[in-house]
Amino acid sequence: MCGKSLLNEYLFSFICDEMRLQELGNIEKWQQSLCNLISFMLRDGMPIEELELTNLYEENRQPRNAE
Protein backbone atom coordinates (compact mmCIF):
# COMPACT_ATOMS: atom_id res chain seq x y z
CA MET A 1 0.00 0.00 0.00
CA CYS A 2 2.80 2.41 0.90
CA GLY A 3 5.44 0.94 -1.36
CA LYS A 4 8.96 0.33 -0.18
CA SER A 5 8.94 3.00 2.52
CA LEU A 6 8.37 2.65 6.21
CA LEU A 7 5.28 4.41 7.46
CA ASN A 8 7.05 7.35 9.07
CA GLU A 9 5.64 10.60 10.43
CA TYR A 10 5.93 12.36 7.05
CA LEU A 11 4.13 9.61 5.14
CA PHE A 12 1.45 9.33 7.83
CA SER A 13 0.81 13.10 7.64
CA PHE A 14 0.60 12.88 3.86
CA ILE A 15 -2.00 10.08 4.05
CA CYS A 16 -4.04 12.03 6.63
CA ASP A 17 -3.95 15.15 4.44
CA GLU A 18 -5.07 13.14 1.41
CA MET A 19 -7.99 11.69 3.38
CA ARG A 20 -9.09 15.19 4.42
CA LEU A 21 -9.39 16.11 0.73
CA GLN A 22 -11.72 13.18 -0.02
CA GLU A 23 -15.44 12.74 0.39
CA LEU A 24 -16.57 10.59 3.29
CA GLY A 25 -17.88 7.89 0.93
CA ASN A 26 -14.42 7.40 -0.58
CA ILE A 27 -12.81 7.10 2.83
CA GLU A 28 -15.38 4.50 3.88
CA LYS A 29 -14.53 2.45 0.76
CA TRP A 30 -10.82 2.72 1.55
CA GLN A 31 -11.47 1.58 5.09
CA GLN A 32 -13.40 -1.45 3.86
CA SER A 33 -10.63 -2.32 1.42
CA LEU A 34 -8.02 -2.12 4.17
CA CYS A 35 -10.19 -4.28 6.44
CA ASN A 36 -10.43 -6.88 3.66
CA LEU A 37 -6.66 -6.86 3.14
CA ILE A 38 -5.96 -7.23 6.86
CA SER A 39 -8.54 -10.02 7.16
CA PHE A 40 -6.90 -11.89 4.28
CA MET A 41 -3.47 -11.56 5.86
CA LEU A 42 -4.70 -12.74 9.26
CA ARG A 43 -6.57 -15.68 7.75
CA ASP A 44 -4.08 -16.79 5.08
CA GLY A 45 -0.80 -15.25 6.18
CA MET A 46 1.47 -12.88 4.34
CA PRO A 47 2.00 -14.12 0.74
CA ILE A 48 5.71 -13.29 0.93
CA GLU A 49 6.84 -16.38 -1.01
CA GLU A 50 5.17 -15.02 -4.15
CA LEU A 51 7.64 -12.12 -4.21
CA GLU A 52 10.54 -14.56 -4.75
CA LEU A 53 12.92 -12.46 -2.67
CA THR A 54 16.57 -13.43 -2.69
CA ASN A 55 17.85 -12.39 0.73
CA LEU A 56 16.80 -12.34 4.36
CA TYR A 57 16.93 -8.53 4.60
CA GLU A 58 14.26 -8.18 1.91
CA GLU A 59 12.20 -11.02 3.40
CA ASN A 60 12.06 -9.07 6.67
CA ARG A 61 11.67 -5.59 5.19
CA GLN A 62 8.74 -6.30 2.88
CA PRO A 63 6.29 -7.64 5.50
CA ARG A 64 7.35 -4.96 8.01
CA ASN A 65 6.48 -2.20 5.56
CA ALA A 66 3.27 -3.92 4.52
CA GLU A 67 2.10 -4.31 8.11
The answer to whether residue 39 sits within a structural domain is: yes
Structural domain for 35, as ranges: 9-66
Torsion angle, alpha carbons of 60, 64, 66, 67, to 10? 140
The answer to whether residue 4 sits within a structural domain is: no
pTM: predicted TM-score of the whole model, two decimal places = 0.59
The answer to whether residue 41 sits within a structural domain is: yes
The answer to whether residue 32 sits within a structural domain is: yes
User: Which residues, other chains included, contact 53 with Cβ-Cβ below 8 Å and sequence gap of 6+?
Assistant: 59, 62
* Cα distance between residue 58 and residue 20, in whole Å: 33
The answer to whether residue 49 sits within a structural domain is: yes
The answer to whether residue 48 sits within a structural domain is: yes
Summarised one tens digit per residue, pLDDT across range 4-60 is 667 789 988 998 999 899 999 999 999 999 899 889 888 987 777 777 888 888 777
The answer to whether residue 34 sits within a structural domain is: yes
In the structure, how many helices (H) and strands (E) does the chain have?
A: 3, 0
Structurally, the chain folds into a number of domains equal to: 1
Coil, helix or strand for 34? helix
